[in-house]
Amino acid sequence: MKVCIAEKPSVAKDIALVIGAKTKKDGYYEGNGYQVTWTFGHFCTLKEPHDYTTQWKYWRLEDLPMIPPQFGIKLIENDGVKRQFGVIEKLVSSCEEVINCGDAGQEGELIQRWVLLKAKCKVPVKRLWISSLTENAIREGFEKLKEGEKYNLLYAAGSARAIGDWLLGMNATRLFTKKFAQQKAVLSIGRVQTPTLAMLVQRQKEIDAFNTEVYWELKTLYRETEFTATIERIKTEEKANKGLEYLKQHDFEITSFERKEGKEGNPRLFDLTALQVEANKKYGYSAEDTLKYVQSLYEKKYVTYPRVDTTYLSEDLHPKIPGILASMKFYEKLISPILAQPIPMSKTVFDDNKVTDHHAIIPTDVLPTGIYAAEEKRVYDLIAKRFIAVFYPECKVANTTVLGMVGQVEFKATGKHILEPGWKLVYANDAKKEKDKDEEKLMPAFETGEKGPHEPKVHQGKTTPPKAYTEATLLRAMETAGKQVENEEMRELLKENGIGRPSTRANIIETLFKRKYIEKRKKNIYPTQTGIDLIDCIENDLLKSPELTGVWERKLRQIERGEYDAAVFKEELVQMVVDLTFEVKNSQFRRIEVVEKAPEPVKPKAKKQVKEKTDPESLDCPKCKEHKLLKGKTAYGCGNFKVCGFKLPFEIFGKKLTKGQVQDLLEKGKTRKIKGLVLETGEEKDGKLMFSEDFMVVLG
């Protein structure tokens, strides 16, 4: 018997159907010579300090640094985890081969290897490595199973990352807490979270230190075109007015008129960070929420593996592209011009040298008929349109530069006009809703030497401080280790030195929010006073420098490729922790007070005539019937969500559910008829909502 271990129950079910393991057992599927079981994310974790010695149970400066002679793992304290691990352990002990079907990435490899290590697996291990969960992808993957040993370096990198985070996080958090924190506050330090916080603090200090200055500029209107004087900004209003009087005494003369045709290259395909940036800019979604939406789309088989850091496709995908495009029926009008001719093998799209574990995020050939949440629809639309846009012609533009003189003062105006929209046609409807800021008004044709009257004026402006980070700009800064880079090719080169991984950056930002080191005001992110004080008390640049942290990230990637020894990396981190401990113990600094938020006001008790069950949070989960529901940002979910997986979105089929409708659905399994439900096709329909067999909300 061959045992397949997937990372989630839903993935195990998909795999079981494809390979013929159709008999449902307790904790696994069986059939056709296979047993298919699952984890649900991390089952194991590195041991905690007190697991090594009781001395480390207490937070004392004299016990630091804590360096275990050898790192060990243990099962996470969770009844569901222990029960399911027991199933895996039993199956692995009596099988002939294990097939690792975990998430095809570093974190997925680490999860599975730790489970197999804990289960004392003695049999050969094969690896299923796929980029989507479609039936064809799974079948092809099983036809081309890899030897498990091929991914030893990936596991080594994941293990080194986890140990590095433990060494720094456990030691530095205790070190700074005992040295600087007041009362029982905890000062959390992390290998990635601390330099991320440092970027926010540095930006805030630049904003605070900025002195706004008023300035004046000379402008003039000639033939309905505004020109700006090329002289330095004027510091006094008096001088500006003198300049204005001078301009009134002379005609405007064109000294140069130049129009050059150019091209605007197609946008790149999405990696995870780029998708999170775009979703934040366009819809205000947090990085964490965007990851959640695209992960759901992946599990529904509508898009490929999302936790990627490349914007390229592997060259062997080229023959499959026409088929994927042809399957995207909801975008037929946009796609038909592409399919009228062969898809070019462009190096800006297909490049094996730029693809490691996985290619960029693209749609699969599965028609997305099961997307009900508006957020998921929007994220899918971003991915689909970007996929289509890369195969359109480049956008051709005319860039115009006009120079003129008024007396002895030179003026300049620039403009851009789209000659052939090319890939911008894909976004034509979006541009109607949100006016395209890139395209300026078409300039008239000027002739060198022409003269005429003009309308000069003085424009008063003021210098502006650096902009606060948004999630979009913070993600970009993390990706490029704090460097401000607009050019996409340059960003690709800097990714190896980025801080954090695409799959972890969202969690890092959320952790900073939870620790109350940062806060959000509208779209902007600011450090709190606690966050600022924490960074100020860290004198060691290694802890807070994005560039130096980026060096660690590069070494982890080199470990994956066999270009750096994981043991050396660990030794370097151990030495750093030892040096840091000595440095901080002997430093002097004021203590930091962690400011807690005011407690939430106590809600008044409900009136007696109102049944307690009116509140969905008082109801049992309809799927597992063991835990109460909890209210999240966008949905109600099972209190044991990681195990059960039940979720009920607030908005379904374009309608925000009322409390009564939610109650009917949870208690009766269906709602009364709801008008105006919006289907995937855009059609509106009246109907009742009900649960399917796997507790997804469907239209009855």
297-305 mean pLDDT: 95
Which of 257, 551, 228 minimizes the C-alpha distance to 399?
257
| Averaged pLDDT of the chain | 88
If one counts every other C-beta atom within 10 angstroms of the C-beta of residue 237, the result is 13
523-546 pLDDT per residue, tens: 999 999 999 999 998 888 888 888
pLDDT band at 683 (very low <50, low <70, confident <90, very high): low
pLDDT band at 57 (very low <50, low <70, confident <90, very high): very high
The contacts found for 441-445 with CB under 8 angstroms, 24 or more apart, are 441/415, 442/415, 442/417, 443/225, 443/400, 443/402, 443/413, 443/415, 443/417, 444/223, 444/224, 444/225, 445/257
The partner residues of 215 in beta bridges, in order of sequence, read: 461
Q: Is the pTM for the entire model greater than 0.75?
A: yes
pLDDT (0 to 100) of residue 597: 40
368-388 mean pLDDT: 94
If one counts every other C-beta atom within 10 angstroms of the C-beta of residue 348, the result is 16
pLDDT band at 607 (very low <50, low <70, confident <90, very high): very low
Residue 66 has pLDDT above 60, yes or no: yes
108-132 mean pLDDT: 95
Checking DSSP bridges between strand 23-25 and strand 28-31, what pairing results, if any? antiparallel
User: What is the CATH code of the structural domain delimited by 2-144?
Assistant: 3.40.50.140
Residue 604 has pLDDT above 50, yes or no: no
202-224 mean pLDDT: 95
- Lowest mean pLDDT, pick from 389-398, 553-562, 592-601: 592-601
Residue ranges of alpha helices (H) inside 371-433 are: 374-389, 428-433
The percent of residues in the chain predicted with pLDDT above 90, rounded, is: 68
475-499 mean pLDDT: 74
620-630 mean pLDDT: 78
- Lowest mean pLDDT, pick from 248-257, 467-476, 606-615: 606-615
- Look up residue 262 and give its amino acid: G
Measured distance CA(652)–CA(699) in Å, rounded: 10
pLDDT (0 to 100) of residue 605: 39
Domain boundary assignment for the chain? 2-144, 160-209+467-585, 214-254+397-420+447-461, 272-389, 612-699
pLDDT (0 to 100) of residue 687: 84
pLDDT (0 to 100) of residue 173: 94
pLDDT (0 to 100) of residue 380: 97
89-108 mean pLDDT: 94
What class has domain 272-389?
Answer: mainly alpha
User: Any idea what DSSP says for residue 238?
Assistant: H
pLDDT band at 490 (very low <50, low <70, confident <90, very high): low
| Contact between 243 and 215 (Cβ < 8 Å) | no
Measured distance CA(421)–CA(263) in Å, rounded: 10
pLDDT (0 to 100) of residue 552: 85
Residue 359 has pLDDT above 90, yes or no: yes
Residue 540 CA: distances (Å) to CA of 500, 548, 581 = 19, 11, 11
Residue 639 has pLDDT above 90, yes or no: no
Which of 91, 80, 76 minimizes the C-alpha distance to 30?
91
376-397 mean pLDDT: 96
312-352 pLDDT per residue, tens: 999 999 999 999 999 999 999 999 999 999 999 999 999 99
Known catalytic residue at 305: yes
Residue 676 has pLDDT above 80, yes or no: no
- Look up residue 234 and give its amino acid: I
Residue 624 has pLDDT above 90, yes or no: no
Residue 610 has pLDDT above 60, yes or no: no
User: Any idea what DSSP says for residue 379?
Assistant: H
- Lowest mean pLDDT, pick from 71-75, 338-342, 430-434, 483-487: 430-434
Residue 609 has pLDDT above 50, yes or no: no
The partner residues of 226 in beta bridges, in order of sequence, read: 221
User: What is the CATH code of the structural domain delimited by 214-254+397-420+447-461?
Assistant: 2.70.20.10
pLDDT (0 to 100) of residue 342: 94
CATH architecture of 160-209+467-585: Orthogonal Bundle (1.10)
396-440 pLDDT per residue, tens: 999 999 999 999 999 999 998 899 999 999 998 875 555 544 455
Catalytic residue among 305, 312, 380, 636: 305
Measured distance CA(458)–CA(33) in Å, rounded: 83
pLDDT band at 606 (very low <50, low <70, confident <90, very high): very low
pLDDT (0 to 100) of residue 591: 59
Residue 184 has pLDDT above 80, yes or no: no
pLDDT band at 690 (very low <50, low <70, confident <90, very high): confident
The percent of residues in the chain predicted with pLDDT above 70, rounded, is: 91
Residue 39 has pLDDT above 50, yes or no: yes
Q: Is the dihedral of CA 363, 368, 374, 376 positive or negative?
A: negative
